[in-house]
Amino acid sequence: MSLQISSKALLIVSSISLTLAAATGSFAVTEATGTTHFISKELVQSAYDGAVCKVGATGTSGSNGETGTTGAVGATGVKGDCGATGAPGADTKWSAVSEDIVPTEDNKFSIGTFEKRWKSLQLGPGTLYIQDKVTGNQAGLTVNAGTLLLDGADSLRIGNIQFTSTGLKSTLTDQDITIGALGDRGYLTLARALKFPDGTSQSTAMLNGLTGPQGASGPQGASGPQGPQGIQGAIGLTGPQGIPGVAVNMKGSFATLAAFTSAALIGAPGDAWIIVANGALMVWNTLTTSWDDVGHLQGPQGLKGDTGATGAPGATGAPGATGPKGETGTAGATGPAGTIAPYGKQYVCVVPSGTKRVMYWGTCSSQGLTGTEYFILATFPF
């Protein structure tokens, strides 16, 4: 079908779609191709039968219709030809850069490769920042007054040895940490002391070991000949101040060691008990939390000593009351004169302390103490 329009008339050659647009007061003529023409109603003067209509005067332009909806995006066109090569840009002089160097994309480019490396990297008094892979925080490496500062990181690991914010440790729990090397002649100096996991500390190497068990007594050796008198040696230097000892606190006695053991006593520093059966002194050991046999206060029966010289007569005592007459007994044999050799006197000073009594070796006056003095018969040394 076709539509012919002349300056005189509108000729409808064949059947076409002719509709009246009520909104604009004009006719919409749609061709078979889908093209639509709008014609004012004054232009159509005859019936739709193919007659030629008279052309009236040109009417005023109608108002624009509403904008239609946007159509679908068309298919991508074929690739166009390459453009002409642009003019060469200005050369960048990397030997002298007067501005910041910033990459076009974040965390993508590197400086140098494994085969092509930079010889040196010179940095001014600034900070070298490195991002933490896990937390994303930045750690800064700075040198300040001769000190290398690592801010933003709480530890530094070299091999399996790790420097932490509080000390030094190994990342392997079964690996020793060695300070120094075999053959070194220097010392490890500590500012204060060593502290152990149980809370105890050691500030000196002068420590007493644990008391070992009592060894068996060896046989009596033969007496050797008397040696010549040696010359008197020079007075030695005064030794360092010893660690203060703990005073012995005599708690009492038990008849036998078995009775003492069955009592299962828990002692305090300085507590001591005497075993009557053998004279052993049991002292509480705070390191092993057990009782140690530190020796006998009374030694075994010694050999009979020589007869001592006759002592001076004692003062005459006051007459006693006359007792009843006893039967005459048989005369006994005259016994040897008594002696205390080879025993000697060991003085102790007992001082009350609350509900306890504390025993100090030596006389009270020699130690400036106020207490009661006793002495113990013992062989020397004991």
DSSP 267-296: --TTEEEEETTTTEEEEEETTTTEEEEEEE
pLDDT of 191 reads 83
CA distance 39 to 31: 13
CB 91 within 8 Å of CB 82: no
- pLDDT by 10-residue block (mean), the chain, 382 residues: 40 47 56 64 47 56 76 80 71 75 89 90 83 86 85 83 84 86 86 86 71 82 84 81 74 92 91 89 91 76 75 79 77 64 79 87 89 79 53
The domain boundary residue, chosen from 58, 85, 101? 58
pLDDT of 2 reads 40
If one counts the domains in the chain, the total is: 3
pLDDT of 243 reads 66
The domain boundary residue, chosen from 15, 37, 58? 58
Residue 362 forms part of a structural domain: yes
Residue 96 forms part of a structural domain: no
Residue 361 forms part of a structural domain: yes
Residue 243 forms part of a structural domain: no
Residue 4 forms part of a structural domain: yes
Residue 211 forms part of a structural domain: no
pLDDT of 28 reads 63
Residue 86 forms part of a structural domain: no
Residue 11 forms part of a structural domain: yes
* Residues 6 or more apart in contact with residue 53 via CB below 8 angstroms: 9, 10, 43, 44, 45, 46
Q: What residue type is 228 in one-letter code?
A: P
What tokens were used for 321?
A: 């009351």
Domain that holds residue 268: 249-296
The domain boundary residue, chosen from 296, 314, 331? 296
